[in-house]
Amino acid sequence: MIRQIFIVCALNFKSLPRRFWTSMVIVVGLGATVGVLLSMLSLTTGMQQAILHSGDPGRAIVVSAGSDSEGQSVITRAMAPLIVDAPGIAKDKDGKPLADKAATMGVPVLRKDGTKGYTTMRGLGTKGLALRPELKLVAGRFFQPGRREMMVGRGAQSLYKGMNIGDKVILPGGEWPIVGVFSTGDLMEGQLVGDADTLMTATHHANYNAVLVRLKSMDSFDTFKKALSTNPALSVTAQRHSDWYKRVSSESTIGLVILAYIVGAVMAIGALFGCLNTLYAAVSARGREIATLRALGFSAFPVAVSVIIEGVVLAVAGAAIGAAIAWTLYDGKRDAFGNIIFFLTVSPATVGLGIFWAMLVALLGGLLPSIRAARRPVVDALRAT
């Protein structure tokens, strides 16, 4: 049986050059479909990777119950020490818990192209830097607690105007000078960083937004979480930093992902009709060959399978071309959405998805023609001109 399938397939592919342009309908149809799908997904994949990269599972973030963002969350000064003293938090060299009470706020900035946008100004507490070993100074110096000055992320510096050391940024309570440039390799690079208490004084904000802690060990999250949830004085939720960013990433990209799938699906339906068309044509063009094989004793099944295989091979070839085009055009290109800086990514996973998508279309598109090929009475097919 396998041998028969192999022979029929070989015969099909030998005749492919004669049906080159017809076959191209499948290749181009799925090439366009997969190309569009992967191009759109390169945006969301890149964004997701940038966001997910920011979450360290060894850290936990505490926000007020029900908050979806740090901006919404309110941690009062009465709540903060209770969180910081909870069990499960790693201790610094000085014996104090590695916990950072942080404040964030939106800051208007001017993009390099002159348009107006917003980024995040993050106020860090005394342990803010110790908690973030990934934060490295690139130029200048660290900000000093108590002073109205700040550092700018490498990404923010490249996106916005007036972000060099010595430049001043309008913040509440006057102009704050930039004293340093930092890199983190994650979302924070698109942000500004300063001292939390100074920022809160300047903005007349009495409350913190969130508390970030370094867990004693990976397993101590449950201890920490339980301590917070059983404390009647607290109404907060603790999440692993990585889980927090998983949610942020899916929330900020879900719309685009759905859009990509809808567009991809619509194009796939278009390609499906093309596929059906081509394979029907292929079956009718090879009617006599098929009938001859049947007359020689080949059974109907290998004939049917061969039609589907032909469709799948052409579809996968198309998908590969589409993926290659999307990859050369977009992969690795730097882009920014708001203050999220990311690289467009055509990942192996999305390429796999594209190929799977194409195979599915080819399977569906090959089914009916293959049945026709197998069912056609041998005598009729042989007589047909």
Partner 1 sequence: MKYFPLVWAAIMRKPARAILTLLSVMIAFTLFGLTIGMNATFTTMAKNARADRVYVGARFGGDMSLAMAAQMAQIPGVSMVAYTNGLNGYHQEKKNKVYAMMADAKLADTLTEWPITRAQWDMLQKNRTGILISRQQATLWHLKPGDDFVIASPQHPRGDGQPWKLRVLDIVGDVGYMSGGYILGNYDYFNKSLPLAKQDKVDQYFVQAGDPTHSADLAQKVDDHFANSTIPTQSITEKAALDVSNVGIDISAVDRDIALAGMFMVLFLTANGIAQSVRERFAEFATLKTIGFSDNGVMALVFLEAAIPCLLGAALGVGLASWITTVLPRLFPPGQGVPIPMMTPSVYLWAIFSASAVALISAVLPAMRLKRMDIATALSGR
Q: Which residues bind to partner 1, rule: CB under 8 A?
A: 21-22, 24-25, 28-29, 32-33, 35-36, 39-40, 43, 105-108, 115-117, 170-172, 174, 203, 255, 263, 266-267, 269-271, 273-274, 276-278, 280-281, 335-338
Smallest separation (angstroms) from partner 1 to the CB of 102: 17
Residues 373, 303: contact at Cβ < 8 Å? Answer: yes
DSSP tag of 62: E
Q: Given the complex with partner 1, which of 27 and 86 has the nearer CB atom?
A: 27
DSSP tag of 307: H
Smallest separation (angstroms) from partner 1 to the CB of 296: 28
Smallest separation (angstroms) from partner 1 to the CB of 264: 10
Q: Given the complex with partner 1, which of 29 and 153 has the nearer CB atom?
A: 29
Distances from the Cα of 278 to the Cαs of 22, 60, 271, 377, in angstroms?
Answer: 6, 56, 10, 21
Smallest separation (angstroms) from partner 1 to the CB of 247: 18
Smallest separation (angstroms) from partner 1 to the CB of 33: 7
| Ramachandran angles phi, psi of 185, nearest 5° | 75, 15
Smallest separation (angstroms) from partner 1 to the CB of 238: 24
Q: Given the complex with partner 1, which of 121 and 238 has the nearer CB atom?
A: 121
Smallest separation (angstroms) from partner 1 to the CB of 90: 33
Smallest separation (angstroms) from partner 1 to the CB of 337: 5
Side chain identity at residue 353, one-letter code: L
Count CB atoms within 10 A of the CB of residue 30. 34
Residues 194, 180: contact at Cβ < 8 Å? Answer: no
Q: Given the complex with partner 1, which of 3 and 116 has the nearer CB atom?
A: 116
Q: Given the complex with partner 1, which of 25 and 63 has the nearer CB atom?
A: 25
Distances from the Cα of 362 to the Cαs of 305, 315, 320, 367, in angstroms?
Answer: 12, 6, 14, 8
DSSP tag of 90: P
Count CB atoms within 10 A of the CB of residue 204. 8
Count CB atoms within 10 A of the CB of residue 329. 14
Q: Given the complex with partner 1, which of 171 and 248 has the nearer CB atom?
A: 171
Q: Given the complex with partner 1, which of 37 and 188 has the nearer CB atom?
A: 37
Strand pairing category for 99-110 and 210-214: antiparallel
Q: Given the complex with partner 1, which of 81 and 108 has the nearer CB atom?
A: 108
Residues 124, 196: contact at Cβ < 8 Å? Answer: yes
- Cβ-in-10-Å burial (0-12, 13-18, 19+) of 109 comes to buried
